[in-house]
Every structure is written in C-alpha cells, then in structure tokens.
Structure 1
Amino acid sequence: MYKKILIATDGSELAQKGLEHGCALAKQLGAPVHIVTVTEPSVPLAATTTAAWVPAYDPTELNKAKGTSATNLLADARKSAEGHGLTVTTEHVAERYPAEGIVESAQQCGADLIVVASHGRRGLGRLLLGSQATEVLTHSTIPVLVVK
C-alpha cells in the first residue's frame, strides 16, 4: 500500500507517539521511513518593531545550536526506528516553516504517506498557536496520517 513513509518529528513527547505509530505501520508494510525535522527561520525580535535603532543581528550561533539540536533529535529518532528493524533515512530542513518543510521533504524523497502528530487544539489555542498538522493536510498532495 505505502512504499515509503515520511515521519515528521520535533522531538516532543507527542511527536514521539507519531514516530512510534509511523514506525509500527512501516514495519507492518515493509516500508522504509524518512524521518524529518524542520527548524524555523531565525528572525530577530527587533525586526518586528518600529525602533529607530536596531542592533546588528547575527543568527550564526542560534542556527548552529538549532543544527546541533536537530542532529541529536534525528539520531535518537533513527535509533528508535532502527529498533523496529526499519530502513531509515533522516533529514533536517533548516530555515523553513514546519508544514512547508514537511510537504517539500515528502515530495523530494518520494514518500507516499506523511505521518505527523497533532495536539488537536481547538478554538483560541488553535487560532493563537496555529496548527502545523492542518497546514500539512491542506498543502499535501499525498495522504497524511495525523496521530493524536
């Protein structure tokens, strides 16, 4: 049915549930998994203000820390997926918004299913925090499995 499954993770406890569910499904289907994490663009706080003086902004250290964190997160996710006996590839998509990075990664790696976790927020929480899972559902051209 599914020949390659992309599993998105941000390292959270809920994302871990999505990883485990996606790995269990992949094992049943004999499908390899592509695990992806996305780090958002580094935007200086001052860029959103109308301050007359804005200090120079160098995101180098922040981006380096994000890269290190993503590498560690993906290493843990790989270990977990390999524990299921799966063939695993990983990818860190930097400087993208999560839903965009997930959908683009799925297209590029040839996945035919995306597994993503969702908090299932409603009302004001969803309005204020947004829903990356909803964005993935909206923009994906392939099936999306949402794990709650």
Structure 2
Amino acid sequence: MFTDNKRVKDLVKLMADHGLTEIELVEDKASIRLKRDLPQQVLAAGPAVVQATPIHAAPVAAVSEASAADEAGLIPIKSPMIGTFYTAANPESEPYVKVGSRVQEKTVVCIIEAMKVFNEIHAEASGTVVKMLVQNGQAVEYNQPLFLLKP
C-alpha cells in the first residue's frame, strides 16, 4: 500500500529530479498516480518579465548599461530565453569568448541552460567583445543583454 508518506515523498522527489510531470506506480492491487503542472513562463516583449524567482539588482544595471551602450554605437548580444548563463561548455573548458575576442555572425558566444537543456547562443552581428554584462552561472532574463560588441 501507499500509506507510507516516505514512499510518496520519494516519488515526488523522483519527479522533481528528472523533470517529470506525471508518474504512476502499480503494486499488487494498489496504485498511485502523481501529476503536476509545469510552471508557466511569461515572456514579455519589453524588458519587464514576470517570474516566480527573486529579482536581482545586477540585471537592471546591465539593462541600463546596455541602453547607454546602444547610444554609443555598441551592439548588445541579448539572451533569447530565461535560464542560467555559462561562458563555456563545461568548467574545464576555455570560455567561448572573452573581452577582446573577435566574433563573426553566428559565432557561439555562450550557453544558456533552460530546463536542463543547454542552448548555444550565437552572435547576431560581427564585432569585438568589449564588455561581458553577466557572470558565469548567473541567472538571466529574456532579452537581457549578455555582451556588448564594437562593430
């Protein structure tokens, strides 16, 4: 039977650890089915994004800094999604780009992890990286500037 709370908690943990939305276990004449809804992500066209996680002060500074950079002729590379920013494929690897790196359009500049999937982010223009606006391992928002390029 499934009257043991520990077994139910173990099933819930298994779901969370593996990103499952539904699990069913049948033993003898007893069965249990657990189901959960996926958290909804709200994406906005503007800089404001509604999300259940706490808002950090750093992204706000990066956005205002990137706005000033736009006026100075620098090109921002922005995050196309919400996730965690990484400079390299793994901790032992060299970063994809550093300040001073020359990039071409479609050059991989970083990775953003979203829902346990690592997504390569490409430069949208050619230029030289003049500033990194986020740190390795930092959470990033949709449309948040990550790098500034000098054309």
TM-score (norm 2): 0.29
**Which has more helix, going by share of residues?**
1
Q: Which has the higher contact order (CA 8 A, sep 6+)?
A: 1
- Structure of larger gyration radius: 2
TM-score (norm 1): 0.29
**Which has more strand, going by share of residues?**
2
